[in-house]
Amino acid sequence: MNFKVKGNKKYLYALMDDETRFLIVQQVAETKYDADIRPLFKKGKEMIGKRPNTLISDGAPNFHVAYNKEFYTNTKPRTRHIGHIRFQGDIITTR
């Protein structure tokens, strides 16, 4: 989500529990595609005490970078990263 503060565009990143819809943690950034959101993932992991089963994002490259650094592991169970939700007629690819 984007919004303006004193005329300057900002971006809100948030982690939400998909079952309860509770907001776990949020972060405001200056940019959308290259903001470092690793602190968001790190704090979320600390707040819930574990890695999520699944991470769903809009496919922006910074999500995948942060996912690899904070959630990816060679041990199972692994956090699954869904980088794009497909809709009928959708032809956008992210990777």
Where are the domains positioned within the chain?
Answer: 2-82
- What tens-digit pLDDT sequence spans the chain (95 residues)? 888 888 899 999 999 988 899 999 999 999 888 999 999 999 999 999 998 989 988 888 899 999 999 888 888 888 989 887 666 666 555 44
pTM of the model: 0.78
Distances (CA, A) of 91 to 22, 57, 88, 94, 95: 31, 17, 9, 10, 12
Stated as kind and residue range, the H or E segment containing 8 is strand 8-16
The pLDDT, as a whole number, for residue 3 is 87
